[in-house]
Amino acid sequence: MARFGRRRIVEVASTRLGLVHGDLGVGRTTPERATRSFEPDEVDAVLFGHSHIPLLDRLPDGRLLLNPGSPTDRRRRPRYSWALLEVDAGATQAEIRMFDDRSI
């Protein structure tokens, strides 16, 4: 956190990505807190962690909401996970990839 801070906006291919851990802010759940960390016109996607629970959704305002889960800590989930994010000229697409054995 010292290197990147608690909240950061990174621009990739004209797409603004909001990066936040997700543990601070207003909201009952991690996705609520992460979403509220950025104004809708500030970012095209909100990428967060904290809960280690994978989530891929589109918010009503069109922003992508993504938590990749964790490749090392399932946190009561049946499988490990990570996410693939594709950014191309303002369009964002993502998918969550699941796997069972992290020793490979």
72 three-state secondary structure? coil
Match 């992460």 to its residue by tokens: 34
**Global pTM value:** 0.90
β-strand partners of 7 = 20
Whole-angstrom CA distances from 19 to 7, 12, 39, 64, 82 are: 6, 12, 13, 12, 16
Token pair for 87: 């950014």
Q: How far apart are CA 53 and CA 30, in angstroms?
A: 10
Q: Are 8 and 35 in contact (CB under 8 A)?
A: no
> What number does CATH give the domain 7-99?
3.60.21.10
Every domain of the chain and the residues it spans: 7-99
> Tens digit of pLDDT for each residue in 23-43?
988 999 999 999 999 999 999
> Tens digit of pLDDT for each residue in 35-90?
999 999 999 999 999 999 999 999 999 999 999 999 999 888 899 999 999 998 77
Q: Are 59 and 47 in contact (CB under 8 A)?
A: no
